[in-house]
Structure 1
Amino acid sequence: MKSRHATRRHLARLGLIGLLLPAALGSAAQSPGVQSTIVDSEDIDADIVEPHAIVPLSERPAVVSREDAVKPQPLMPVKQALPLAAGFDVRLFEAMAQDLVANQRVPGLAMAIVHNGQVLSARGYGITDVRSAEPVDAHTVFRLASLSKAFAGTVTGMLVSEGALRWDSHVVDYMPSLRFSDPLAAQQLTVADVLSHRVGLGRNTYDRDIERNADYHDLVQRLSAAPMTCQPGNCYAYQNVAFSLIGDVVFATSGQFFSEAVSRRIFKPLGMNDASYGLDGIQASTRWAKPHVRAGGGWTSLMPKPTYYRLAPAAGVNASIQDMAQWMIAQTGHRPDVLPAPLLATLQAPIVGTPPEMRNSSWRRDRLNAAGYGLGWRVFDYAGHRVVFHGGAVQGYRGLMAVMPERDLGIVVLWNSESGLPSGLMPTILDRAIGLPPQRWLDVDPNIEVLHAARQQPSAPASGESGGTVSNRAAATPH
């Protein structure tokens, strides 16, 4: 065991070069002429990371240099996706999800699995509110928290592709009043720095103030007093307030409010008809899942807080699992009319290493050989396979999404409680996709596979040939 961990530390020091970078390199076209508890600290199992974890570039090889990160790169040849492993059974995963909501272990949950551009499953489980038990279905809207960051990176990349700005454009060109405690730092900060969390500030700067209902614009002004840990582009530290500077850049570039730009360029073209931004957006939804927190021996529902909604690029999106299935289809390259392959290659390429992400949970410690951050996405070496990932958490809501390009697979899990139980669904599905021996990442009935095999005949095809969306099924009790 000791030698195995030593090997993993060695792999982390080597960074993502060799596995991740060759698989992900690419770029969008750039025009040369136009320049308390921090509950939304992103991944739901990241709470054990040091409060101000910084990964200076000087301590390990940069995945991509600051200069190279914004240079156009040739696309790698497109390879035929590998088939899913023989043990991949969508109905088994659905049975596991159903087991999680049994007896309200988790109030409500939604899961989508897409493969080869087809929806294998997109359905709800459990209930929207313990006080008013309506079933979760494929169109029930959840708050996405930090899963929103991928939308911010994508809409920015669209503008880069159009030549409206560049990845190496300086943020101060669009926000002339921006100031940091280091007078030169604001002048150096680029669009790519913001989207890859290389702003130079301490981790989660001013998040506690957001939780106390501080105004975003006031906090932007206060960045002039925030301590710097490095020059922009030279270290990684996860942000929400500073990440949301990209919304101001999008507005200045496009003339559209950030939420309007995402809706017009992403939601509507992809058919994400339930998606919205902000507290008003989720409350206007036909059906939406209320957030839940622990209360005595059970759950109590709350009204969502407006706090992190004030940071639209970082944490503002609401969406149903049907919406997220379409998002995964686009992110796996099957909507080139909206998200062309060069843009996806750029967004999903690692820019900076994030080794602490390798120890935030049991599946990460056991499965991850390397971790990095791109432009609104995390990029992992998952047992030798590239996985593009993001997680999110805000009071009473949690979620995970992942793309495994080599298998043309996309997965999203959303739930309306602070429970960590459903987080094991993601590694369980990834393991089955690549044929790894089963691990008990998920606390469900250990006999569920036997029960499932007895109830479901014949088993679902691994490749999803008879797939299609299971879009409106809902259940509040076990099968």
Structure 2
Amino acid sequence: MRLSRLLVSAGAVTALTVPGALYGTDRVVGPQQSTASPAPAPPSQQPPQLTQAQVSDALGQLDGVVQNAMTQTGVPGVAVGVVYQDKTVYAKGFGVREVGKPDRVDPGTVFQLASMSKPLASTVVAQAVGRKVVGWDDPIIAHDPGFALKDPYVTAHVTIADMFSHRSGLPDHPGDLLEDLGYNGDYIISHLRMEPLSAFRATYAYTNYGLTEAGNAVADAAKTTWPDLAATSLFQPLGMTHSSYRRSDYDRAADKATAHVQVDGHWQPSTTENADSQAPAGGASSTVDDLDTWMRLQLGNGSSDGKQIVDPAALDQTRIPHNIASPPRGPGGEPGFYGLGWNVNYDQLGRLRLNHSGAFDLGAATTVTLLPTEQLGIVVLTNGQPIGVPEAIAAAFFDIAQNGHQTVDWLGFYRGLFQQLAGAGHSPIDYAKPPASPQPAKANSAYTGSYKNDYYGPVTFTVTGSGNGSGNGSGNGELAMVLGPDKETFPLTHYTGDTFSYRTRGENAVGLSGVTFHTGAGGANGANGAVDAVTVENLDTTGLGTFTR
């Protein structure tokens, strides 16, 4: 979904603000019970600021934090894992996998990760960099010669690191709407060359398909596919047996969390779109058990159970600021940074904090936060659409560890933040009342026919049904728009004049949006005063949403 700014903000706000009948199958081990020595910290890292007693206290309050969040929001299922000093000290499930069914969430329940797939992906690439399969600064075209962007210079120079830090110049979320319409990954990535570019390496815009292209290029260099590269280089060596970048593996899992959305205040099962086409950026699924192992690898600088899986120098590159993702939040404030697949920030004690959230508006919300100097990390997975629950749980945990209690109502804060930004990208048509005296439309026959667009493909306007036109142009029947490779039909409702509305669908749906027909726009029929073009508002975010006859 289009939550990039929100998810980046969520990580940065947490980092800069924190100073320093629900049950499930669980395993909780207090850190005081661990006899293992902490993993040695690199000399560049500052000494820990938290004691084992502080972490134990936060763990003791974590059940209550989760249960309170579920009680207040009704989110059906939550799974939480915490690692500390190279040990899993908390792995617990709460609630149900699917509303209306008895199956409980446990630490082995498979969840869709959405954009939490990105730091997993950068770990996979770091492993390939350490093996000299690729370099972070390799141009994409060195491994995928057919790839292109609009500017030949950027095409020749854009690197794997550029894509993983969202500094290629591509606009925000390019290609996501093509996915909503049913186009496959090859089509989407090949059409990135039509997207307008901003300043190369001087701007930030979150891109699922830019990062995906980089991941696929790494897989090409390794002579394999992205899902197989992740499996052989990361999941299998770590024993992450329930992790995958293939949607089919999630679908086949016996113990999996079903996606849910809120409808009229009630949670109901949903189905997210298949994210295989953007697998490195958003297509992973995993469990708390598996992700605890991955967090131990991250906090162990690429080492797991005494074996070096990922080269520390290659992994370190993912954790330094490569781009400014969000501006300072006030006088004397710090900007939010993005590394390679990570939000990279620093808290008020100067500690490095790595974070990334994931969100499918059709029913998944996740987050992971690591505090490397403390050898402490938390992952929170939920099976409800994003309303701030995982971010609030993670923030509360670190706040309690540092201060003994929550100094902020984190659930209230994040729910308000998500509600505030949930309407981003919505058309005025979606929330404004229709004109009291709308201008009349032309006859339906003036609008019907096919219109072309090199980016989105053709659109066809037809008349369906019969009757008085249901508020459309004069003439019987209802005007409808047919879009995408699957020829999906969207009924239109007259708004005013030559503007109609339709209800958007898919992961990036924004309620009602506009469809405006134009006369004399340069199409084949413009000279005789006929309608010769149409702009679909929701598809026009980067100026590519106009279709001509």
TM-score (norm 1): 0.73
Check 1:316–1:147 CA distance in 2 against 1; reply closer, same or farther (3 A cut).
Answer: same
Q: 2 CA distance for matches of 1:411 and 1:368?
A: 25
Seen in structure 2, the aligned counterparts of structure 1 residues 436 and 345 have a Cα distance that, compared at 3 Å, is farther
Give yes or no for the alignment of 1:128 onto 2:123. no
Identity of aligned residues (%): 26
Q: Establish whether residue 255 from structure 1 lines up as the match of residue 255 from structure 2.
A: no
Change (3 A) 1:262 1:45: closer
Picking from 288, 294, 314, the partner of 2:262 is: 294
Q: Secondary structure at the match of 1:220?
A: helix
**Distance in 2 of aligned mates of 1:45 and 1:167:** 22
Q: Residues 7 and 356 of structure 2 are in contact (CA less than 8 Å); yes or no, is this contact kept in structure 1?
A: no
In the other structure, the counterpart of 1:159 is 128
Query: Equivalents in 2 of 1:234, 1:104: separation in Å?
Result: 40
CA drift at 1:281: 1.2
CA shift, 1:368, in A, is: 7.3
Deviations 1:195-246, CA, capped at 9 Å, x for gaps: 1111111111122222222211112121221101112x23221100111012
- Report the residue type matching 1:178 in the other structure: F
Q: Give the TM-score normalised by the residue count of structure 2.
A: 0.64
Instruction: Give the partner amino acid of 1:284.
Output: R
Contact 1:85-1:432 within 8 A present in 2 as well? no
Look at both structures and tell me which one has the larger radius of gyration over its CA atoms. Answer: 2
Select 1:177's aligned residue among 136, 146, 157. 146
1:178-327 mapped onto 2 (5 Å cutoff): 178-231=147-200, 233-306=201-274, 308-327=275-294
Matched, 1:96 2:65: yes
Distance 1:155 1:108 in 2: 28
Q: Which moved more, 1:293-302 or 1:331-340?
A: 331-340
Contact 1:368-1:381 within 8 A present in 2 as well:
no
Give the structure 2 partner of residue 346 of structure 1: 317
Paired positions, count:
373
Question: CA, structure 1 residues 313+213, in 2 after alignment: closer, same or farther (shift >3 Å)?
Answer: same
RMSD: 2.5
Quick one: distance in 1 between partners of 2:293 and 2:408? 29
Counterpart of 2:363 in structure 1 is 396
Q: Write out the 4+ residue segments of structure 1 that deviate beyond 6 Å after TM superposition.
A: 365-368
SS in 2 for 1:236: coil
| Gap regions ≥5 residues in structure 1 | 1-37, 50-74, 360-364, 445-479
1:14: which partner in 2? none
Structure-2 residue corresponding to 1:106: 75
Displacement of 1:43 in angstroms is: 5.2
1:434 aligned partner: 402
8 A contact 2:166–2:205 mirrored in 1: yes
Residue identity opposite 1:257 in structure 2: T
Query: 1: CA distance between counterparts of 2:405 and 2:271?
Result: 41
Task: Please state whether the residue corresponding to 1:235 is helix, strand or coil.
Answer: coil
Q: Whose strand proportion is higher, 1 or 2?
A: 2
Task: Report the CA distance between 1:87 and its aligned residue.
Answer: 4.3
Identify the range of structure 1 (139-148 vs 243-252) with the bigger mean alpha-carbon deviation. Answer: 243-252
Local SS of the residue matching 1:300 = strand
Aligned residues of 1:427 and 1:441 also touching (Cα < 8 A): no
User: Hey, what's the Cα distance between the residues in 1 that align with 2:158 and 2:5?
Assistant: 22
Match in the other structure for 2:338: 373
CA distance in 2, matches of 1:40, 1:211: 15
Contact 2:388 2:411 (8 Å CA) reproduced: no
2:296 to 319, 322, 329: 329
The one-letter amino acid paired with 2:165 is S
Secondary structure in 1 aligned to 2:254?
Answer: coil
> Equivalent of 1:409, from 376, 379, 395?
376
Cα distance change, pair 367–76 in 1 and its aligned pair in 2 (3 A): farther
Is the Cα contact below 8 Å between 2:2 and 2:173 reproduced in 1? no
Cα distance change on mapping 1:271 and 1:325 into 2, 3 Å: same
In structure 2, the CA distance between the partners of 1:44 and 1:107, relative to structure 1 (3 Å rule), is farther
Identify which of 116, 138, 150 aligns with 2:85.
116
Distance 1:341 1:272, change over 3 A: same
Alpha-carbon separation, structure 1, partners of 2:257 and 2:90 = 19
